Structure 1
Amino acid sequence: MAHLLGAEGLHLEYPTRVVFDSVTLGIEEGDRIGIVGRNGDGKSSLLAMLAGRKEPDAGRVTVRGGTRIGVLDQADTLDDSLTVGGAVVGDTPEHEWAGDAKIRDVIAGLVGDLEWDAPVSALSGGQRRRVSLARLLAGDWDVIALDEPTNHLDVEAITWLAGHLKSRWAKTAGALLVVTHDRWFLDEICTATWEVHDRIVEPFEGGYAAYILQRVERDRMAAASEAKRQNLARKELAWLRRGAPARTSKPKFRIDAANALIADEPPIRDTVSLQSLAVARLGKDVVDLLDAGVSYGDREVLKDVEWRIAPGERTGILGVNGAGKSTLLGLVAGTVEPTSGRVKRGKTVQVRTLTQRIDELEQHWNDPVRTVINGLRTSYTFGAGSKAQDLTPGQLLERLGFTSAQLSTPVKNLSGGQQRRLQLLLVLLDQPNVLILDEPTNDMDTDMLAAIEDLLDSWPGTLLVVSHDRYFLERVTDQQYAVLAGADGVGRLRHLPGGIDEYLRLRAAQTAAPRSSSERGETRRGGEPSAPALSGADLRSAQKELSALERKMQKLNDQVDRAKHALADHDQADYAGLGEKMQQIQAQQDEIEELELRWFELTEQLG
């Protein structure tokens, strides 16, 4: 593979610290490199130096002659005077860019829903990000450097971007450098990972999962080395006292050892214990949305929402911006009143929401972190059963990555990620039993996301999460729902037995149907696309099966609801009995998922 660019002896320092010290790297054609590390360790600075946007204090970056480097940084540099089309393709004549399959794909994938002649100044932050990405990807580059490209993108756009980057070049052509905290994205596109830490850049083979496996092995070897060093010191002391020489051997470790270590790890959550504790804290009833709908004036946002939230439920909510996700969560939290149907709330329910704003911190803006936590409860119980542990606010802060030195820092001087973590701590210490997280991964690095996930694994309550971070959503929740617009444009809640993949299929079908219908000139009343019609016996058979499926699903859902409510009356110390009942409930839920998949197939056939 041909060499594209390299770095030799890079040194970078600021008045208070050294960021990089004698870093040497090379990038070849075919490289797809993800850059990870803690916030503030220099990931963006490294990318900027390699892309020629930042000069190192020492060392040099060399680029093969003629190599074209395209860069997307975190700053919004779009010219507000441009239109969407002007920002993406510039002055290129329409017949030229319209004849380029790559540019057509970029436009359809990122800005197809935007008005081509709309002014950039009128766009939202997420829309501007998509336009910036489209502008970059419409160009021809040998190397593309992306700094947090998934910021402000939804699940669909992130999935499209991953697919585009995977197919943009031949396998042994082009090169990609990407800084991102999106672990699914890293795993999907990267063949190598660079970890930035302690003034160095450490390379690993493979994407995020392979990197974590190798890092576990590295850390295990480091721990073994430290233990050996201490053992040697003890033996040296013994020799000094007794005169006996100390002899040691150097063990060799393989990657299989890390695999074995992972295989011995218990399940990430003690589901039975957490479920029983959630039932004990919440009782039988949490929040039931019964045929609920919400309208704002003449605009109907949600309708026919039937959702019975169970104690200990962990659910992810998906949907495009404006679909009604925030309205749905407002119904659960009690901040939005239904205009049709009703919301039934359990007597012991205490809902708290971690919003995208930092409202909880405003009253503490000028206070040091230490002062903030001193005003909180002295201990907090995490986990359930034999794994329950009491942690002080200080210990919780440590688990969330705060150092002792940062305890004296005023809240206003914390980084965005630190403020977000402190906000989460304040919400948790209020001890709600229903927790709503609205885009909680903003401003977090991969290590901190893992720490928050670990914290949530032992949180005993009902958890509802809205996030565009696919890895996080699948990691902390057990099931997903989507708010999807029907033919009338009004949002409805739909269970996703197939998870995020099913959501992406549904959204692809929604966006493709109007396009294909308009091409054929075939639409039904109200603009709904017509489906291939079944006829005669096939039609009657499908309708009959659909009715039977709906009755069976309703019956099973009622059985699951009764079984979950019955857990509250069960002996909470009988873990074996609770485990058996949970298995029975899970079996019924699995059956419901299979039926829903068949129901979906039939509804597609029937239109």
Structure 2
Amino acid sequence: MATQQGLHLLGAEGLTITFGTRTVLDDITLGIDAGDRIGVVGRNGDGKSTLMRLLARKEDPDAGQVTWRGGTSVGFLDQSDVLLHEDSVRRAVVGDMAEHEWASDPKMRDIASGLLTGLDWERPVGELSGGQRRRVALAKLLMGDHDVLMLDEPTNHLDVEGVAWLADHLKRRWKSGEGAFLVVTHDRWFLDEVCTLTWEVHDAVVDAFDGGYAAYTLARAERDRAAAVEEQKRQQLVKKELAWLRRGAPARTTKPKFRIDAATALINDVPEHRDEVQLKKMATARLGKDVLDLEDVTLSVAEGEGESKTLFDEVTLRLGPGERVGVVGVNGAGKSSLLRLLDGRTEPEGGRLKRGKTVRTAILTQEVDELRERAGMRVHEVMTEDKTVFDVGGKEMSAGQLLETVGFARSRQWTPVGDLSGGERRRLQLLTLMTGEPNVLMLDEPTNDLDTDTLAAMEDLLDNWPGTLIVVSHDRYLLERVTDHQIALLGDGKIRALPGGVEQYLRIREGKEPAPPVDGRRYRGESSASATPAAPAAAPSPGSGAAGAAAAAASEAGSSGAGKASAAKSGASSSAQQRQAQKTMQRVERQMEKLSARRAELHDQMAAASESVDLEKLSGLQTELNGIEAELAEAEEAWLEASEIVEG
């Protein structure tokens, strides 16, 4: 059904609802017009899903009313399972339509290929996994012709590819100014990609903001800064998130809809989200040079009667100290199995796992099994089982303070573990793993059941964590935020480097780009020589002072690195190579100090320019800062390569 541009479709007036003694929504008045693309955010339990159910007329308010314009069709995706389990997938999705009827509709074909590829259409819904049933329910909803779509956590159980498909579908589903949707999700990339309005549900009210997640983050920071001192801790998390949005990969691709002067004024005093050199130095001290190496590993899993599927076919993966690796891949390609191999929980059929002497691993599983035996303990008791004071980013924090950083209020810290929500158990599970002082941390879909505020707090903790980090996730914002490079499992038994990150993975899956070749000898963090190279950074001009000298020193250290590779074949570096590497380290350290000093000067100059709102000067300073950052990264890599030679 086509809707006129800007036409009012539905609205709520004076909505109030109370659960027990707690008012979740209080006197809420709002509306949805044709053309609205609305994302709903807020902390778990603050009423996002309740608001959507009220607007969809799936629940009645205690006071107030919801009105729909006559003839308006509303489609609603609930979090609960609403499908008839005795129906086949075919009947659940297209009803009694003949195949030629739905298959001749381009929209229906696209939905089927985007969400249901690989599913047996004659299989009863009751025999599907929870994730598969969720896909079927989403496909059924999207097949319909609705004026308004209301989607409660639609990205749950979708992989990176599925999330990208859904975003593209929603952007193409209606013409500009027609139709409307309301989506509750913790996927921040998705919110920025598809939404032009954001509703924040908090403290029984709903605040509206123009733009997607990036614009909302800025606006909320401005509101909090001007509104109340008691919001200071929450504001600092928002400011740190802004620093990432301004400097990181998402800011280059999602075109945040906020003013550059306001953004710069807010973030010019925020430090980099993590000091990679310092973290790698700390990681090297804790871990040594060798961490985890999979060498020529083969692994298969049973699939049906007498059949098996090869997940890994003679793959080699080497992880060094302080590496931060994101893992993406098709469903069933072996992402979770890769973590179990690295953790030593699964034995390979061929090849071996080589483990450094000082390595201590911890893995965050999807099942939260670690807390089941502690169901009768209180949250605070779980955190203080082994110690009561923790070192977080060089600062001492009590168990109570650490719990507060991830959303456990003082009163909630004395709740029995068995009474926690899914998101709360997830937060506690991650904290207990990190405070157990592992030096290799593996996270399997860590964003499940977490709201955007909690995700920001979790990322803040991970920024200061100095060990090796491996993250499996469909949340591309998280991957780009906490990892430095990504690898792909494409279902062919190999591991491939992704110099172009998640975007490159999606292009490969869409057939727009060939998969990068596999380096059979090794894969170690950065893309191998045989992988598709990233675009080179602009070279500094000759005689460009500290920047040029650092680049020269980095080049010399790179040459020493080539010598190191040659020496590795014979078993060790020569004394001459070690002396040369030591000199290179000292030279690079001096240049890094000069570059760091210049970076600090640029930050001060940008702060002054932002006060005078000199956008032209800000732009020039930002360009120079980008060059300094690139040269610092190159020098840091040279220092690390030289340090490996010195250690022999």
Seen in structure 2, the aligned counterparts of structure 1 residues 389 and 173 have a Cα distance that, compared at 3 Å, is same
Seen in structure 2, the aligned counterparts of structure 1 residues 204 and 549 have a Cα distance that, compared at 3 Å, is closer
SS of structure 2 residue aligned to 1:27: strand
Q: Which amino acid in the other structure matches residue 201 of structure 2?
A: V
RMSD: 3.2
Q: In the aligned structure 2, how far is the partner of 1:454 from the partner of 1:429?
A: 15
Equivalent of 1:75 in 52, 69, 80: 80
2:410 equivalent in structure 1: 404
1:470 equivalent in structure 2: 476
Q: In the aligned structure 2, how far is the partner of 1:259 from the partner of 1:442?
A: 32
Once the 2 structures are TM-superposed, how far is the Cα of residue 313 of structure 1 from its aligned partner?
0.3
Q: In the aligned structure 2, how far is the partner of 1:465 from the partner of 1:549?
A: 23
2:398 equivalent in structure 1: 392
1:89 equivalent in structure 2: 94
Equivalent of 2:59 in 33, 39, 54: 54
Q: In the aligned structure 2, how far is the partner of 1:549 from the partner of 1:354?
A: 32
2:353 equivalent in structure 1: 343
1:360 aligns to 2:366 (yes or no) = no
Once the 2 structures are TM-superposed, how far is the Cα of residue 561 of structure 1 from its aligned partner?
8.7
Once the 2 structures are TM-superposed, how far is the Cα of residue 339 of structure 1 from its aligned partner?
2.0
Q: In the aligned structure 2, how far is the partner of 1:370 from the partner of 1:209?
A: 34
The question of whether the paired residues in 2 share the 8 Å contact of 1:213 and 1:259 is answered with no
2:463 equivalent in structure 1: 457
Seen in structure 2, the aligned counterparts of structure 1 residues 549 and 483 have a Cα distance that, compared at 3 Å, is closer
Q: In the aligned structure 1, how far is the partner of 2:454 from the partner of 2:375?
A: 22
1:497 aligns to 2:499 (yes or no) = yes
1:19 equivalent in structure 2: 24
> Unmatched 5+ residue regions in structure 2?
1-5, 233-258, 303-307, 515-527, 534-557, 593-630, 641-648
Seen in structure 2, the aligned counterparts of structure 1 residues 88 and 270 have a Cα distance that, compared at 3 Å, is same
SS of structure 2 residue aligned to 1:485: coil
Once the 2 structures are TM-superposed, how far is the Cα of residue 268 of structure 1 from its aligned partner?
0.4
The question of whether the paired residues in 2 share the 8 Å contact of 1:560 and 1:585 is answered with no
Deviations 1:83-112 (A, max 9, x none): 111111001233321221111111111112
Seen in structure 2, the aligned counterparts of structure 1 residues 286 and 420 have a Cα distance that, compared at 3 Å, is same
1:542 equivalent in structure 2: none
Seen in structure 2, the aligned counterparts of structure 1 residues 435 and 199 have a Cα distance that, compared at 3 Å, is same
Seen in structure 2, the aligned counterparts of structure 1 residues 326 and 552 have a Cα distance that, compared at 3 Å, is closer
2:176 equivalent in structure 1: 171
- Percent identical: 55
Once the 2 structures are TM-superposed, how far is the Cα of residue 310 of structure 1 from its aligned partner?
1.0
Q: Which amino acid in the other structure matches residue 134 of structure 1?
A: A
1:376 aligns to 2:376 (yes or no) = no
Deviations 1:519-543 (A, max 9, x none): xxxxxxxxxxxxxxxxxxxxxxxxx
Once the 2 structures are TM-superposed, how far is the Cα of residue 469 of structure 1 from its aligned partner?
1.2
2:310 equivalent in structure 1: 300
Q: In the aligned structure 2, how far is the partner of 1:357 from the partner of 1:2?
A: 45
1:118 equivalent in structure 2: 123
Seen in structure 2, the aligned counterparts of structure 1 residues 46 and 573 have a Cα distance that, compared at 3 Å, is farther
> Unmatched 5+ residue regions in structure 1?
228-253, 514-547, 590-607
2:422 equivalent in structure 1: 416
Q: Which amino acid in the other structure matches residue 131 of structure 1?
A: V
What is the count of residue pairs matched by the alignment? 519
Q: In the aligned structure 2, how far is the partner of 1:577 from the partner of 1:266?
A: 22
SS of structure 2 residue aligned to 1:19: strand
Seen in structure 2, the aligned counterparts of structure 1 residues 273 and 226 have a Cα distance that, compared at 3 Å, is closer
Seen in structure 2, the aligned counterparts of structure 1 residues 147 and 26 have a Cα distance that, compared at 3 Å, is same
Q: In the aligned structure 2, how far is the partner of 1:389 from the partner of 1:575?
A: 29
1:331 equivalent in structure 2: 341
The question of whether the paired residues in 2 share the 8 Å contact of 1:196 and 1:202 is answered with yes
Once the 2 structures are TM-superposed, how far is the Cα of residue 116 of structure 1 from its aligned partner?
2.0
* Greater Cα shift, 256-265 or 362-371: 256-265
Once the 2 structures are TM-superposed, how far is the Cα of residue 584 of structure 1 from its aligned partner?
4.0
Q: In the aligned structure 2, how far is the partner of 1:295 from the partner of 1:163?
A: 35
The question of whether the paired residues in 1 share the 8 Å contact of 2:499 and 2:531 is answered with no
1:137 aligns to 2:142 (yes or no) = yes
Deviations 1:263-309 (A, max 9, x none): 33221001111110000000111011122222347543201212110
Equivalent of 2:442 in 409, 430, 436: 436
1:583 aligns to 2:634 (yes or no) = yes
Once the 2 structures are TM-superposed, how far is the Cα of residue 338 of structure 1 from its aligned partner?
2.2
1:264 aligns to 2:269 (yes or no) = yes
SS of structure 2 residue aligned to 1:134: helix
Once the 2 structures are TM-superposed, how far is the Cα of residue 502 of structure 1 from its aligned partner?
1.1
Compute the TM-score of the two structures, normalised by the length of structure 1: 0.80
The question of whether the paired residues in 1 share the 8 Å contact of 2:362 and 2:438 is answered with yes
Q: In the aligned structure 1, how far is the partner of 2:477 from the partner of 2:440?
A: 22
